[in-house]
Amino acid sequence: MPDPSEHEARRYYDDFSDSYEPGRDNRYHRMIDDLEVQIATPYATDARVLELGCGTGLILGRLAKVAKEAVGIDLSENMARRARERGLDVHVGSVCALPFESDRFDLTYSFKVLAHVSRVHAALQEAARVTRPGGHLLLEFYNPWSIRYVAKKVAGPRSIGRDRTEADILTRWDSPRSIPRLLPPGLELVDYYGIRVLTPFAAVHRIRWMSSGLSWAERLASRSPLRYFGGFLIAALRKHR
């Protein structure tokens, strides 16, 4: 039976696809993307990688340059089409029912997607299934122990396109303490990486000198003891052999 929440999410991201990339090259988004790529690159080099919720392929396209094989999947046909226009191997489908054989990928990763998946346990089980024994997963969650969480609560939902706001999509927040309870058996939590630990709100990156200093500090904070307070918290996992 189709999941109504997935149907609504597909419509949301189809609508979002037209306005998703404009502005993605600003200093704030460039910093976030660069940090995610830096974290994922050592795992992706010479590996078979899968991105869950690849969107228009901005991250997948960068990691494809170092990977042995790079595959993406997205719920939105419009997003996937734009990724394919980049020459990427992208499928349309649900992260809760992946169309790939078990144990196929060395690295399965997902950025800014799981926070919007209602059946997150099913998505995590599928991510673990398609990852080979001994392989890794990099799974990003939205962290309530963060400045970003406070800023979101104060500012409220932002507009993401014509007649759409962030309130139109489910958003879940999972802390470093709660994430281990979400994981299916067979996955070992290796570490966390924190993204957007120190940035109070995205607009501060419009100021060049402040953006440069914050970007430098964010790189250091992503692997420091402060990483547990990242607005985007990446759980690095290993699948048991």
H/E stretch holding 71 reads strand 69-74
Q: CA-to-CA distance for 131 and 129, rounded, in angstroms?
A: 6
Reported as a pLDDT band with limits 50, 70 and 90, residue 4 is low
- pLDDT tens profile 50-106: 999 999 999 999 999 999 999 999 999 999 999 999 999 999 999 999 999 999 999
pTM above 0.95, yes or no: no
DSSP bridge partners of 107: 49, 136
Reported as a pLDDT band with limits 50, 70 and 90, residue 1 is very low
Nearest to 129, CA basis, from 56, 14, 52, 211: 52
Going from the N-terminus, what domains does the chain have, and what CATH number goes with each? 4-239 (3.40.50.150)
- pLDDT tens profile 20-56: 777 777 899 999 999 999 999 999 999 999 999 999 9
